């Protein structure tokens, strides 16, 4: 296995908010593409690393391990939108190594987190966000988190009570 100098999230995992993920990347015709994702303890590692799955004359298939999908309460609205979408997705944020190979740095199910919409952690121009279908195991795990934690917001917010200016000042009928 080739190892990068990118550390994965801390060892071990909490199955309620963290899930080990493997990312499958394909090199075909000189172009890298995200092929999918797999989940489970066998993909856990203390370091992000890649291993060849298949190498042929015209294509290569690589598995990246040592990544973790982490759920955070602040993105629960995003998670609810994602699982209710026609095509629930998993997002992989990648940088590039010295040879131009995409290196997964983060896996998320929040489009907002993937795009770095939080002004305190904007994505650099050297990073790209790739999208793939959400594995069924991730869907079920995320659905449980959303069902346990999501509180829909009321539409329209609080209604303001309109006050008659004359009532407000204690005058009625010009008195």
Residue 46: predicted pLDDT: 86
Q: What average pLDDT does the segment 153-170 reach?
A: 61
CA distance 109 to 84: 12
Q: Are 36 and 61 in contact (CB under 8 A)?
A: no
pLDDT, tens digit (0-9, with 9 covering 90-100), for 13-51: 456 788 999 999 999 988 999 999 999 999 998 899 999
Taking the model in full, what pTM does it have? 0.74
Domain range summary for the chain, segments of one domain joined by +: 2-150
pLDDT, tens digit (0-9, with 9 covering 90-100), for 65-92: 999 999 999 999 999 999 999 999 999 9
- Which residue is associated with the tokens 């489009």? 111
pLDDT, tens digit (0-9, with 9 covering 90-100), for 121-150: 555 667 889 999 999 999 999 999 999 999
Q: Are 48 and 7 in contact (CB under 8 A)?
A: yes
What are the DSSP E strand ranges found in the chain? 2-7, 18-28, 31-39, 47-55, 59-70, 89-96, 102-108, 128-133
Residues near 78 by beta carbon (within 8 Å), at least 6 away in sequence: 109, 110, 111, 112, 113
């Amino acid at each position: 296995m080739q190892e990068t100098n990118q550390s994965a999230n801390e060892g071990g995992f909490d199955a309620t908010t963290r899930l080990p993920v493997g990312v499958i990347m394909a090199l075909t015709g000189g172009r890298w593409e995200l092929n999918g994702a797999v989940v489970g303890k066998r993909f856990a590692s203390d370091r992000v690393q890649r291993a060849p799955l298949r190498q042929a004359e015209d294509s290569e298939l690589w598995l990246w391990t040592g990544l973790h999908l982490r759920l955070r309460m602040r993105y629960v609205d995003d998670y609810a939108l994602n699982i209710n979408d026609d095509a629930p997705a998993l997002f992989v944020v990648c940088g590039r190594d010295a040879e131009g190979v995409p290196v997964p740095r983060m896996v998320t199910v929040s489009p907002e987190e993937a795009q770095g919409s939080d002004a305190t952690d904007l994505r650099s121009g050297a990073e790209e966000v790739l999208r793939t279908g959400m594995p069924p195991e991730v869907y079920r795990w995320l659905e449980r988190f959303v069902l346990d934690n999501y509180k829909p917001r009321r539409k329209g917010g609080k209604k303001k009570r309109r006050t008659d200016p004359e009532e407000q000042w204690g005058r009625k009928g010009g008195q």
